[in-house]
Amino acid sequence: MKTILEYFLSKTIFVNLLTFLIIFFGGLAAVRMNREAFPNINFDIVSVSTLYLGASPQEVEKLVTNPLEKAIKEVDGIKEYRSASIEGRSGIVITLDPDTKNTQKVVDDIKSAIDRVEDLPEEAEDPIVTEITTARTPVIEVSVTLKEDDGSVEAEKRLRQQAKIVEQALLDISGVAKVARRGWRETEMQVDIQPGSLNGLYLTGQDVINALKNRNVNVPGGNITGLEKEVILRTIGEFDTPDEISKVHVRGNEIGNAIRIQDIARVTEGLREADYVENVNGKKTVALTVLKRQSSDAIKVVDEVKNTIHKFGEGNPEFEYAFVNDLSKYIRRRLNVLISNATFGMILVTASLFFFLGWRVALMTALGIPVSFGATFILMNQFGLTLNLISMFGLVLVVGILVDDAIIICENVYRYIEEGLPPYEATLKGTLEVVSPVTATVTTTIAAFAPMLFMSGIFGKFVFSIPLVVIIALCASLSEAFFILPNHLYDINKRNVKSGEIKGESGWFARFRNTKYIPVLKYALNHPWIMSWGVFGLLIASFVILAGYPRFKLFPGSVDQFYVKVSAKTGSSLPETYRYLKVLEQEIATIPKEDLENYATRVGIIQANPNDPFTKRGKHFGMVMAYLTAEENRKKCHKTDDIIKRLRKRTLWLLNETSRKQEEEKIQKEAQGQKDDCDSHEPVVIPEEFASLRGRLLSLEYEKVSGGPPVGKPVAIEIRGDDYDTLLKIAASYKDILAKIDGVADVADDFNEGKDEVRIRVSESLASTAGVSVFRVAQAINTAFQGTVATKIKRTDEEVEVKVRFPETYRKSVDSLNHVFVSNIAGKMIPVSRLVTMQKNPGVSNINHLDGKRLVTVSANLTGKSTNPKLANAQAKKLADEKKILDRYPGYTVRFGGENKDTDESFASLGIAFGAAFIIIYIILASLFGSLLQPAVVVSAIPFSFIGVILAFVSHGEYFGFLAFLGIVGLAGVVVNDSIVLVDFANSLRRENPNKDIMDVLLETGNLRLRAVILTTVTTVLGLLPTAYGIGGFDPFLVPMALAFGWGLAFASLITLIMVPVFYLHLYRYQTWFSGKIEQIFGKKQKIASPAVHYFEPQSYTTSPTGKKKK
């Protein structure tokens, strides 16, 4: 080490150039790195989606979901799989085992297993297997609307045409991977056959289908080789327009009479029936969701998209364009917040260095920050990391820590310079002397963060870049402190050496030390047990406060977005459901323009994002997504919670009596003990046009967007089995149990009655006698009501289906079966109504599975402070075990999940990381001190830092969450650094003066190391202060982690300065007592072992407790 250091000290030009190059290329790497909201991660989730249009949920379950689940069950490496069978669709969500090393192989095996399934219905589309990742992230939605929309098909066609042009322009942008459409209806040729005309001419729907299929052909006929050139033969019978389809012959005779399509049907070019309704700002829209490539910069892609759209807006005034869910806005704002807070942090850190130390020391110490950051950015680029919210917070976290090693080196070097050593010798000796302590402090910090790299599950992947960035930055800082900093210290001092460069030996700091700190420390050492019990009592009191502080949320909600979710009566049509959403649109539109950016409406689906595992589909579902401006820019009483309260109050009249009472009770409980200055008490006015909707809505939920992955309801009891009647009986028992638990509200299950189902049974004997097959009958019914695709028209940019069906007036009634005929072998027309019987039964809206078995989930919310998710689930389980519910239903199983399950898994992983960090830190300290007991004195600061964390969160009203606990884990590695310095210095003084009284040793230790402890703490806390309090911009997502780290460290430093000497005294007296006992037993004086390793040579500390120099 000495040789390397001497080399760097002798190469001033090389070191200066190296410093410049690191800062320059680091800045270049930072500018060129991709900017994103979150890191690119794989969620270990695979979805399988299959369309089976027109099929009931029972048919979808039996014919599609069950065969697919049997294939999936054979694949290794799967944690669980869930499915939902709804009308016309099967959806399966597969969660991979987080312990599986080769997840790509599992994904490939799932795809292969799905491909091997051969017994799916012919009418079902091929299953689509999708791996859920953030590689292709939606960055913005472009909404295209008509300024004057009369609701006609022609208007919608113009909108589609413009959207198609815009889509192509967006795809031409280099960073765009895909553009997904919403609110888009495909073109469809509709052949509406007239039952009267059809039957009068002895024709059936199947005759029309066959005629269209046989006419629309384009078949090669081979090649003819002539004398001069080769000619290609091709038979063409394709049609493209409604007029051409109308002239297709269905039947003709030998004298030239023919029946054409136009004689029995009306042909129009229309649009497919809508599955969803998509609106933006109350207008019908085609939404184009832009997905970027993994290697693209999100902000650059969005800027190019906006530039492209602005050109369209200037060129065609017929259309309006809106930008919805602009991810770049959040990325830009959050990165700006982090950059400005990091800048403020660096300024505060540098200012504190100038305040405590001389300008030379402060300048050289502060120079380590840009050098370390430059090296960090270069290495981040090599590791494939991007600039995102998570990685940037790792940099903010480490701003104040980076200078700790430089402070120790600078202080030691300048101490030797003040003693009169030449600058070269002072720099060399001062640096070499502290290699061990500096390495130890950095190693313990790395040891605290390193276990986070191995956290399992989605949360482990989510925060992976924080510890990686911190470790990279600390290693860069350590290298800069050992090789670059000494050269700069030598270079700046070799010409002009002045004494008194280090401040704080007199003036206010000396007065504070001599009049405040030393007397307090003396009192603590003279009354060690009072102080010890006092601080333990404070720790216990803080945990008692925590127990009565229920503000816990895995990921607190966002402040700029909220959803309004509605559920109408099962069987409602899209237009009927949209009427409820229209009320919400009008209310949201009253939000002031300075508070509201846009709002988007979706009818037929409730889905937070394309990867939402809690997606609900059905024409009776709907939602409005409101996108607000930044909360810090809004006025008082215009915060997100205030807006939601007002909207909820103004729309409660939509709910039925039962749901409305539940909502009113919940609102009253939430308002208990809280004074609301923003409640305007305005009377609720029901618009006359919507008066018929009063009291008809089943549910109405307002929900802020979660800051992390969806975690479900606080209480969720999953019941698995085969028979729905039995499942519902078990669910009723659990609902009764939950209703008895205090603080549990909104108890419900997810079983929904579906549309009434008319089951048509064909009499096989009658059909056989009439000479028709059951299949022909079913086919005729399907053609009449659902419609049958006879053929497809292939155009340059689209494929148009030609659908044969009855007109809309006939499709509205089951009585139209009287107009459906099939022809038998002899060509006679047989009425279908004579061959069938009908039975009307209630249907099921959706059939859920968990690991291949039917599933009913009983869920509940919590109100008030009387319980929490873990306690509520535990009470429910205990009561259920006492009643022995499952003993009455063999073959059925129950699992308690919900938010508690996600929380337990996350914190179990985090707890393992914390335990591993604690053990590694202890091993490092035990090796350093050569003692098994002294590390306990050092790590005593860790539990006492929790006092600062708890007081900070309670006083600030913040939620305890995942990132807060992440901050506590990282805190463990930093708080021990000051303790290491104190304990090691006390050991050094004892070795130097073995006969010196232990009280004097500890007083001198505290006296000499006070400034170093305060300075390292102040720099770290000041580095985090802007983020914790939003000095450079407020981001609620980051506040909990910054508060936990900053306040915990500040409080731990107070404990370190007072209580570490006290605990050291306890340990010394115990060792003395133990040595005396050994001497009594063996009759020989035992020497108390002292640590073999120390940080500072005795002569490097020559100041007495009074501040005078020793000779």
Report the SS3 class of residue 271: strand
Could you tell me how far CA 749 lies from the centroid of its own chain?
26
Between 24 and 1103, the more confident residue is 24
Query: Residue 598, CB half-sphere, CA atoms under 13 Å: how many?
Result: 16
Rounded average pLDDT over 1012-1038: 76
Give the model's pLDDT for residue 806.
93
What is the average pLDDT value for the chain, to the nearest integer?
82
Task: Give 497's pLDDT tier (boundaries 50, 70, 90).
Answer: low
Give the model's pLDDT for residue 303.
92
Q: How far apart are CA 656 and CA 696, in angstroms?
A: 5
**Beta-bridge partners for 192:** 266, 805
Report the SS3 class of residue 542: helix
Kindly report, residue by residue over 498-549, the tens digit of the pLDDT: 544 444 444 677 788 888 888 888 888 888 899 889 888 888 888 888 777 6
Q: Where is 586: in which H helix or E strand?
A: helix 574-588
Residue whose tokens read 């100041």? 1103
Between 803 and 950, the more confident residue is 803
Q: Taking a C-beta distance cutoff of 8 angstroms, is the pair 500, 425 a contact? A: no
Tell whether the model's pLDDT for residue 883 goes beyond 80: yes
Q: What are the CA-CA distances from residue 926 to residues 574, 932, 935, 1094 (Å)?
A: 69, 6, 6, 12
Q: What are the CA-CA distances from residue 1079 to residues 932, 994, 998, 1072 (Å)?
A: 21, 19, 21, 10
Give the model's pLDDT for residue 552.
64
Give the model's pLDDT for residue 513.
80
Task: Give 901's pLDDT tier (boundaries 50, 70, 90).
Answer: low
Q: How far apart are CA 488 and CA 822, in angstroms?
A: 97
Joined tokens for residue 452: 């986070």
| Phi (first) and psi of residue 562, to 5 degrees | -150, 155
Joined tokens for residue 797: 């940019």
Q: Taking a C-beta distance cutoff of 8 angstroms, is the pair 483, 436 a contact? A: no
Q: How far apart are CA 243 and CA 241, in angstroms?
A: 5
Architecture of the domain made up of 506-548+930-1111: Up-down Bundle (1.20)
Residue 813, judged by CB atoms within 10 A of its CB (0-12, 13-18, 19+), counts as exposed
Rounded average pLDDT over 53-64: 88
Give the model's pLDDT for residue 602.
92
Q: Where is 2: in which H helix or E strand?
A: helix 2-10
Tell whether the model's pLDDT for residue 1111 goes beyond 60: no
Which residues, 6 or more positions from 979, have their beta carbon under 8 angstroms from its beta carbon? Answer: 937, 938, 939, 940, 941, 1056, 1060
Tell whether the model's pLDDT for residue 464 goes beyond 90: no
Residue whose tokens read 């640590």? 1091
Q: Taking a C-beta distance cutoff of 8 angstroms, is the pair 408, 485 a contact? A: no
Tell whether the model's pLDDT for residue 760 goes beyond 80: yes
Q: How far apart are CA 686 and CA 694, in angstroms?
A: 9
Rounded average pLDDT over 849-865: 82
Name which of 214-218, 495-499, 737-741 the model is least confident about. Answer: 495-499
Architecture of the domain made up of 1-32+335-502: Up-down Bundle (1.20)
Kindly report, residue by residue over 1046-1098, the tens digit of the pLDDT: 888 888 888 788 888 888 888 888 888 888 878 777 765 444 444 433 333 33
Give the model's pLDDT for residue 1087.
46
Show contacts of 417-421: CB within 8 Å, 24+ apart.
Answer: 417/493, 417/497, 417/501, 418/499, 418/500, 418/501, 418/502, 419/1102
| Same fold: 42-133 with 187-220+231-271+755-844 | no
| Phi (first) and psi of residue 590, to 5 degrees | -80, -10
Instruction: Give, as one character, the DSSP assignment of residue 654.
Output: G
Q: How far apart are CA 988 and CA 1064, in angstroms?
A: 14
Q: How far apart are CA 946 and CA 996, in angstroms?
A: 35
Q: Are strands 218-225 and 176-182 parallel, antiparallel or unpaired?
A: unpaired
Q: Taking a C-beta distance cutoff of 8 angstroms, is the pair 724, 848 a contact? A: no
For residue 488, give the amino acid letter: H
Task: Give 144's pLDDT tier (boundaries 50, 70, 90).
Answer: very high
Q: Helices 941-956 and 962-992, interaxial angle, to 10°?
A: 140
Give the model's pLDDT for residue 384.
83
Which residues, 6 or more positions from 615, have their beta carbon under 8 angstroms from its beta carbon? Answer: 91, 605, 606, 607
Rounded average pLDDT over 861-870: 66
Between 263 and 6, the more confident residue is 263
Give the model's pLDDT for residue 17.
92
Tell whether the model's pLDDT for residue 904 goes beyond 90: no
Q: What are the CA-CA distances from residue 482 to residues 121, 408, 869, 1095 (Å)?
A: 71, 11, 50, 15
Q: What is the 3-state secondary structure (H, E, C) of 616-632?
A: EEEEEEEEEEEEECCHH
Q: Taking a C-beta distance cutoff of 8 angstroms, is the pair 513, 40 a contact? A: no
Rg (CA), the chain: 37
Q: What's the sign of the alpha-carbon dihedral 391, 629, 276, 319?
A: negative
Give the model's pLDDT for residue 73.
92
Give the model's pLDDT for residue 1094.
37
> Is 557-706 CATH 3.30.710.10?
no
Percent of the chain scoring above 70 in pLDDT: 89
Rounded average pLDDT over 837-847: 82
Which sequence spans correspond to the domains of the chain? 1-32+335-502, 42-133, 187-220+231-271+755-844, 506-548+930-1111, 557-706
Q: How far apart are CA 992 and CA 314, in angstroms?
A: 82
Name which of 278-282, 405-409, 449-453, 609-613 the model is least confident about. Answer: 609-613
Q: Are strands 187-193 and 799-805 parallel, antiparallel or unpaired?
A: parallel
Name which of 216-230, 279-293, 304-318 the model is least confident about. Answer: 216-230
Tell whether the model's pLDDT for residue 675 goes beyond 70: no
Kindly report, residue by residue over 724-759, the tens digit of the pLDDT: 889 988 988 988 888 888 777 778 787 877 777 788
Rounded average pLDDT over 904-917: 72
Name which of 357-361, 778-782, 1089-1093 the model is least confident about. Answer: 1089-1093
Give the model's pLDDT for residue 554.
61
Q: How far apart are CA 939 and CA 983, in angstroms?
A: 11
**Beta-bridge partners for 133:** 42
Pick left, alpha or beta for residue 924 (phi over 0 → left; psi -120 to 50 → alpha; otherwise beta).
alpha
Percent of the chain scoring above 90 in pLDDT: 17
Alpha helices in 83-204 (DSSP H): 103-115, 153-171, 195-200
Fold classified for 187-220+231-271+755-844: 3.30.2090
Closest to 1078 measured CA to CA, from 1090, 1065, 1091, 1088: 1088
Tell whether the model's pLDDT for residue 473 goes beyond 80: yes
Residue 495: CB atoms within 10 Å: 7
Tell whether the model's pLDDT for residue 153 goes beyond 90: no
Instruction: Give, as one character, the DSSP assignment of residue 930.
Output: T
Tell whether the model's pLDDT for residue 624 goes beyond 90: yes
Per-residue DSSP letters for 731-777? HHHHHHHHHTSTTEEEEEES--EEEEEEEEEE-HHHHHHHT--HHHH
Q: How far apart are CA 618 and CA 846, in angstroms?
A: 9
- Among the ranges 20-24, 885-889, 913-917, which has the highest mean pLDDT value? 20-24
Rounded average pLDDT over 981-990: 81
Give the model's pLDDT for residue 917.
77
Which residues, 6 or more positions from 660, have their beta carbon under 8 angstroms from its beta carbon? Answer: 652, 653, 695
- Residues constituting the chain: 1111
Joined tokens for residue 24: 């320059």
Q: How far apart are CA 811 and CA 566, in angstroms?
A: 28
> Is 42-133 CATH 3.30.70.2660?
no
- Among the ranges 181-185, 230-234, 599-603, which has the highest mean pLDDT value? 599-603
**Beta-bridge partners for 220:** 234
Tell whether the model's pLDDT for residue 652 goes beyond 70: yes
Q: Taking a C-beta distance cutoff of 8 angstroms, is the pair 739, 588 a contact? A: no
Task: Give 558's pLDDT tier (boundaries 50, 70, 90).
Answer: low
Q: What's the sign of the alpha-carbon dihedral 146, 150, 151, 156?
A: negative
